[in-house]
């Protein structure tokens, strides 16, 4: 089963917790054991798994990425969003999460984040649920 969810972001750079939406798809699928494969079909966005207990973690992650990859540098890309492309490549366009007993197998403090680096926008996230 392949599903698509839309993710709307409200800032140029934002990490949006999408754990609930992904778990909802797993619940609706009825899959008890398997795998959820998440894929972002955009070159200036990404997906990652990280702490979801303290919202300051996402702020720190964005600030850290902005220090490593500043918005303005000696980039040559004409659209002016090279920093977003670099951040997307560093974080990555996909994640896999094991499904066990109908639940995403995440650590106590983990959540799934859609990473926007060239927003605000409405984006797509592809999710493939594999039973087995």
pLDDT tens-digit readout, 36-66: 999 999 999 999 999 999 999 999 999 999 9
Q: How confident is the model at residue 100 (pLDDT cuts 50, 70, 90)?
A: very high
Average pLDDT, the chain: 96
Beta strands in the chain (DSSP E): 2-8, 14-17, 33-39, 45-51, 94-100, 103-104, 110-116, 122-131
Q: Is the pTM of this model over 0.75?
A: yes
Q: Which pLDDT value is given to residue 79?
A: 80
Distance CA 119, CA 106 (A): 27
Phi-psi region of 84 (alpha: psi -120 to 50; beta: other; left: phi over 0): alpha
CATH superfamily placement of domain 2-131:
YjbQ-like (2.60.120.460)
């Amino acid at each position: 089963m392949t599903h698509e969810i839309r993710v709307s972001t409200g800032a140029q750079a934002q990490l949006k917790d999408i754990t609930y939406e992904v778990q909802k798809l797993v619940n609706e699928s009825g899959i008890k054991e398997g795998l959820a494969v998440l894929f972002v079909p955009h070159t200036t966005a990404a997906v990652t798994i990280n702490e979801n207990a303290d919202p300051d973690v996402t702020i720190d992650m964005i600030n850290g990425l902005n220090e490593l990859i500043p918005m303005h540098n000696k980039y040559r890309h004409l659209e002016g969003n090279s920093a977003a492309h670099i951040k997307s490549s560093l974080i990555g366009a996909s994640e896999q999460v094991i499904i066990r007993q109908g639940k995403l197998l995440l650590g106590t403090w983990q959540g799934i984040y859609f990473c926007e680096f060239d927003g605000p926008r409405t984006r797509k996230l592809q999710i493939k649920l594999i039973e087995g």
